[in-house]
Structure 1
Amino acid sequence: MLARHMQKLLLLFSALLIGVGLLACGGGGGSPGTPGPATPPPATTGSLAVTASGLPAGVNPALRVTGPNNYLQDLTQSQTLANLAPGSYNVSASPVTSGGVTYQPTPASQAATVSAGATASAAVSYASGTLSLGLTQVAANLDNPTFLTAPAGDRRLFVTERPGRVRIVENGSTRDLPYLDIRARVSTDGEGGLLSLAFDPQFARNGYFYVYYTDLQRNIVVERFSAGATPTAANPTSGLVILRIPHPTYQNHFGGQLAFSPDGYLYLATGDGGGAGDPQGNARNLNSLLGKLLRIDVAGATTTQPYTIPAGNPYRDVAGRRPEIWAAGLRNPWRFSFDGSQLYLSDVGQDRREEVNIVAAAQAGLDYGWNLMEGTLCYNAATCDRTGLTLPAFEYDHGTGNANGCSITGGFVYRGRALPELAGRYFYSDFCGGYLKSFFATGNGITEQRDWEIGDIGRVVSFGQDADGELYLLTSGGAIQQIGRRAAQ
């Protein structure tokens, strides 16, 4: 009996426990129920919506976004940038040129703060405006400056002075002591002197640079020097003559430019030997180095073999032809430059025309036509055979009383960052004209010819280009002026 009674009590107690459990679970047949929504993790990144307005259809803005962790993104349309680390971002906008009209952005630069889980915004408005250029003097009282350049990555300006010195201009100040002084071996008779300088593409590694000058016998000389123990002075005893070209009889038309092309070879442009009309017939004579564009390899220069002839030179293996010749038919090429795969070569005319030749840099064996042609005119003849000649892409007539100029000073295609709307425009001047002009060369011809109306600059001897691609003017009065944006009046 007692055992049976205890068994009943245990069953009753178990039933009570089950009931309590059901009440605790809210009842309902044993289902655990539907769980509530999970809490999302907090956001760790944000977004930036960049919008641009005011440009005509088909014209893209030029925007750059920079921010934390070296973030950089260039945009050509309105766009929302996602997954950005929180922090401060800068949105810069560059002017845009289309159809000869320049559109200026407002603001040109702005900051935007990106927060986690939020979208910040930055708006740029473009409006059309006229770009004006001005000049800022960076040096004065130089002794007949003839050329300006700089090695890659160097903020300094290296300037050749005609009597035979290379000067350093840094932060608007010209160092008293020259970088190189070879006045004792330079002649300034006629149009001679120290005329240009080119840094080796491997200058940072090998310290080599090359100068083009006329010596005391009026020969054209290309000589290599080496950097010195300090960055402010070259080694004056390191000279190695690369090439010496006889230039007898006349004291003009020495040419004067040398430059390395993208192919790594050294190019130099020589005058025809002087005298009116090329009386010695040098320019188209392929056995003469005068009146030519030359191409040589100086990478392994030694005293016994200062240069070699690159493969691809058109007369490398042709008997009776100088293998150094790359192109012929030049009168007095006063400045040439490379722009990527293109060569821009200006040639001073005789009495009527000034010209700029624009060709693929890889084109060998061209004949620019002097003294058969002056520009696109037959020289001293009513008709002439133009067969096989390369005629200029651009030319201008002197005009009555040399109203348009008398001696072109060739320049560079602009590739700097300060004036992005001018990318691809070729700048030139004239020794008699005292102006600054430019044009844009396309596959269909010359467009956007413009006189920048700077005023009378003076006798422009040369253009220069620094390591950032910004352009300078050098005048016979000894001044160097940088080309830049003119401040709003």
Structure 2
Amino acid sequence: MLVDRVRIFIFSLLLLLAGCSGGGGDPGTTATPPPAAITGSLQVAINALPAGVNAAVRVTGPNNFSQDLTSSQRLSNLAPGSYSVAASSVTLGTATYTPAPAIQSVVVTSGAGATASVAYGSTALTLALSDIGPTFTAPTFVTAPPGDDRLFVLERRGVIRIVRGGAVLTQPWLDISANVFTGGEGGLLSMAFDPNFATNGYFYLYYTDPAQNIVIERFGSSPTPNVGDPTSSLTILRIAHPQFINHFGGLVAFGPDGMLYAGTGDGGGAGDPFGNAQNPNSLLGKLLRVDVRTATSGQPYTIPATNPYLNQPGRRPEIWAYGLRNPWRFAFDGEQLYIADVGQDAREEVNLAATSQGGLNYGWDIMEGTACFGAATCDRTGLTLPVFEYEQGADNVNGCSITGGYVYRGTAIPELTGRYFYSDFCRGFVKSFFAGGAGIIEQRDWGLSGAGQVLSFGRDGAGELYLVSGSGRIFRLVRGSGG
């Protein structure tokens, strides 16, 4: 054991001497240098947007980095490399805010901070009317099935033409002129494509026949492309309208519920002399709602179970709403229903209700707009007043007959989304408003008068809006050169 302890002592001494070899004494402790930074940062400054308006900026870079920004922000721990800062336009009301620059590249280096700046500038939106080209014979309506690249133009005489690729096809889609009465306000007035048109080929027409009846009739497509089948007719409704040649109403349309709606006039004359609008046993002066999904010659329609007057004696079950003078026209927008109703001597109005609200009484001929008609006072109990109206004014300075349009849901001018467009037959203006929780706001006159007398609005398969002019021209609503 003693020998082993001596050996360990000698071995330890040798190690100590080896560590001290070379002379010069103890060199001290050498500090370890810190590791070099391997990431950087990017400060993105976004300027000149109004409070409450979010920017639309996307930053992309190495390692599939991607981040969307709505306001100024510092991005940290970024891998070195080139980053793209891409900004898109944003809108507030009808103003567009355009970024500058729209896209830029920024290099992020290790241990350093880079910067990028985006400044938004505002441009007021302007609109223009683009003439689609041909002149038609007294056009009354334009429409198209969703997603279809054709535009169907109805002529009052009873002919439907197709515009495709900027040209009018030689052969009409349909010609029922032998069955159409065109006196007064009569004629072929509107068209609606079945929700399943792509598979069943059905479309529905609203017109007046030689006996002045209002007729809603279904037709089908033919095997020949771009031609309807005139032999496929099925009459859905025929409503007597014998006394006067005005107030035929004129629109047939499918609602979001798949039911067929029709807006009828009060029968004509001044002041609804036969009291049709307030008569629940008359189909005149009404908004009608029927189910045509299983239509046959023996039973062209059924009554939806949710119609308000189903199984009520003395009330026509087809009625969805009443108290209308001459609805020209109505439009669905999601779960909302807009009805433009023509006034008599003083006021033009737009009614707005949820599509689920059946049985509403819009007041005619008790009221004209929000005013009592022909009386200082009136009983307004149970009446639904318009959400918007305008007075005709002296010598019809503001207009004489409202032309209802649509809520814009197209994609070409996103700033217009949600705005309801309308015009007036006498003034030919193009105006819009926004109906929201705060009521009717953002009322605007777009300063367009080139269409002359505006007979109707229409929509194409992409949801873009059109105006039908009394001159026979059809105009598309487009972005103006200044906006």
TM-score range, shorter chain: 0.7 to 0.9
Q: Distance in 2 between matches of 1:299 and 1:48?
A: 60
Match of 1:389?
Answer: 383
Asked if the contact 1:350–1:374 (Cα under 8 Å) also holds between the matched residues in 2, the reply is yes
> Mind listing any 5+ residue stretches in structure 2 that lack a counterpart?
1-40, 61-65
Scaled by the length of structure 2, the TM-score of the pair is 0.83
Match of 2:88?
Answer: 93
Counterpart pick for 2:140 among 122, 143, 146: 146
The one-letter amino acid paired with 1:320 is: G
Match of 2:279?
Answer: 285
Per the alignment, do residues 75 and 304 of structure 1 end up closer, same or farther by CA in structure 2, a change over 3 Å counting?
A: farther
Match of 1:464?
Answer: 458
Match of 2:99?
Answer: 106
Can you list the C-alpha shifts for 1:430-462, whole angstroms capped at 9, x where unaligned? 000111111111223211111111135300000
Match of 1:448?
Answer: 442
Counterpart pick for 1:362 among 345, 356, 362: 356
Q: Distance in 2 between matches of 1:237 and 1:305?
A: 19
Per the alignment, do residues 444 and 454 of structure 1 end up closer, same or farther by CA in structure 2, a change over 3 Å counting?
A: same
Tell me whether 421-430 or 139-148 shows the greater mean CA deviation: 139-148
Output aligned runs, 1:122-137, within 5 Å: 125-137=119-131
C-alpha RMSD of matched pairs (Å): 3.6
Identity %: 60
Match of 1:273?
Answer: 267
Q: Distance in 1 between matches of 2:277 and 2:345?
A: 17
Match of 1:155?
Answer: 149
Per the alignment, do residues 380 and 174 of structure 1 end up closer, same or farther by CA in structure 2, a change over 3 Å counting?
A: same
Q: Distance in 1 between matches of 2:353 and 2:203?
A: 26
Can you list the C-alpha shifts for 1:179-225, whole angstroms capped at 9, x where unaligned? 11111111101100000011111111211111100011111111111
Can you list the C-alpha shifts for 1:296-330, whole angstroms capped at 9, x where unaligned? 00111111111100111000110111000000000
Match of 1:406?
Answer: 400
Aligned length, in residue pairs: 449
Per the alignment, do residues 204 and 91 of structure 1 end up closer, same or farther by CA in structure 2, a change over 3 Å counting?
A: farther
Per the alignment, do residues 319 and 486 of structure 1 end up closer, same or farther by CA in structure 2, a change over 3 Å counting?
A: same
Output aligned runs, 1:245-394, within 5 Å: 245-394=239-388
Q: Distance in 1 between matches of 2:451 and 2:430?
A: 8
Match of 2:479?
Answer: 485
Scaled by the length of structure 1, the TM-score of the pair is 0.82
Q: Distance in 2 between matches of 1:62 and 1:382?
A: 55
Match of 1:196?
Answer: 190
Per the alignment, do residues 131 and 381 of structure 1 end up closer, same or farther by CA in structure 2, a change over 3 Å counting?
A: same
Tell me whether 137-146 or 378-387 shows the greater mean CA deviation: 137-146
Per the alignment, do residues 213 and 375 of structure 1 end up closer, same or farther by CA in structure 2, a change over 3 Å counting?
A: same
Per the alignment, do residues 216 and 310 of structure 1 end up closer, same or farther by CA in structure 2, a change over 3 Å counting?
A: same
Q: Distance in 2 between matches of 1:272 and 1:230?
A: 39
> Mind listing any 5+ residue stretches in structure 1 that lack a counterpart?
1-46, 67-71
Match of 1:33?
Answer: none
Matched, 1:218 2:212: yes
Q: Distance in 1 between matches of 2:191 and 2:103?
A: 41
Q: Distance in 2 between matches of 1:87 and 1:322?
A: 71
Paired residue secondary structure (1:205):
helix
- TM-fit CA distance, 1:106: 3.3
Tell me whether 163-172 or 103-112 shows the greater mean CA deviation: 103-112
Asked if the contact 1:169–1:175 (Cα under 8 Å) also holds between the matched residues in 2, the reply is yes
Q: Distance in 1 between matches of 2:461 and 2:99?
A: 29
Q: Distance in 1 between matches of 2:164 and 2:217?
A: 25
Q: Distance in 2 between matches of 1:266 and 1:275?
A: 27
Per the alignment, do residues 53 and 236 of structure 1 end up closer, same or farther by CA in structure 2, a change over 3 Å counting?
A: farther
